[in-house]
Amino acid sequence: MYVFKHAFELKNYLSSARQAGKSIGFVPTMGALHDGHLQLIAQARQHTDLVVCSIFVNPTQFNDPKDYEKYPSTIAQDTEKLVAAGNNVLFLPAVAEMYPEGLASTSQYDFGYLETLLEGSYRPGHFQGVGRVMHKLLKMIMPHQVFMGQKDFQQCMIVKRLLEITGLPAQLVISPTTREASGLAMSSRNMRLSAEERQTATLIYQVLTYITQHRSDIDYAPVVAEATRRLVAGGFVPDYVAIADAATLLPITGAIPGKQVALIAAKLGEVRLIDNVVY
Sequential DSSP letters for 228-243? HHHHHHTT-EEEEEEE
CATH number of domain containing 99:
3.40.50.620
Q: How much is the average pLDDT of 180-193?
A: 97
Q: How far apart are CA 226 and CA 277, in angstroms?
A: 17
| Residue 149 annotated as part of some ligand binding site | yes
pLDDT digits (tens, 9 = 90+) for 11-23: 999 999 999 999 9
pLDDT digits (tens, 9 = 90+) for 33-91: 999 999 999 999 999 999 999 999 999 999 888 899 999 999 999 999 999 999 999 99
- The pLDDT value recorded for residue 257 is 93
Average pLDDT over the chain, rounded to whole?
97
Q: Is 76 annotated as a binding residue?
A: no
DSSP 144-167: SEEEEEGGGHHHHHHHHHHHHHH-
Nearest-CA neighbor of 205 among 259, 279, 275, 151? 275
Is 136 annotated to bind ligand?
Answer: no
pLDDT band at 224, cuts 50/70/90? very high
Nearest by Cα to 260 from 223, 225, 230: 223
* CA 121 from centre of chain: 17
20 is in an annotated binding site: no
Give the domain-ending residue among 145, 175, 205.
175
- pLDDT category, 106, cuts 50, 70, 90? confident
90 and 210 belong to one structural domain: no
Tell me if 239 is assigned to a ligand binding site.
no
Query: In the annotation, is 37 catalytic?
Result: yes
- Distance separating alpha carbons of residues 215 and 49, to the nearest angstrom: 41
Q: What is the CATH number of the domain that holds 240?
A: 3.30.1300.10
In a domain, 216, yes or no: yes
- One domain for residues 150 and 210: no
Instruction: Say whether 275 sits in a helix, a strand or coil.
Output: strand
Asked if the structure places residue 113 within a domain, the reply is yes
Q: Which domain holds residue 192?
A: 188-273
pLDDT over 70 percentage in the chain: 100
Cut 0.85: pTM above it: yes
State the chain's maximal CA–CA distance in angstroms.
58
Is 80 part of any domain?
Answer: yes
Scanning the chain, the segments in alpha helix (DSSP H) are 7-19, 35-47, 65-70, 75-85, 95-98, 119-122, 126-141, 153-166, 195-200, 203-212, 221-233
Catalytic entry in 6, 37, 126, 135:
37
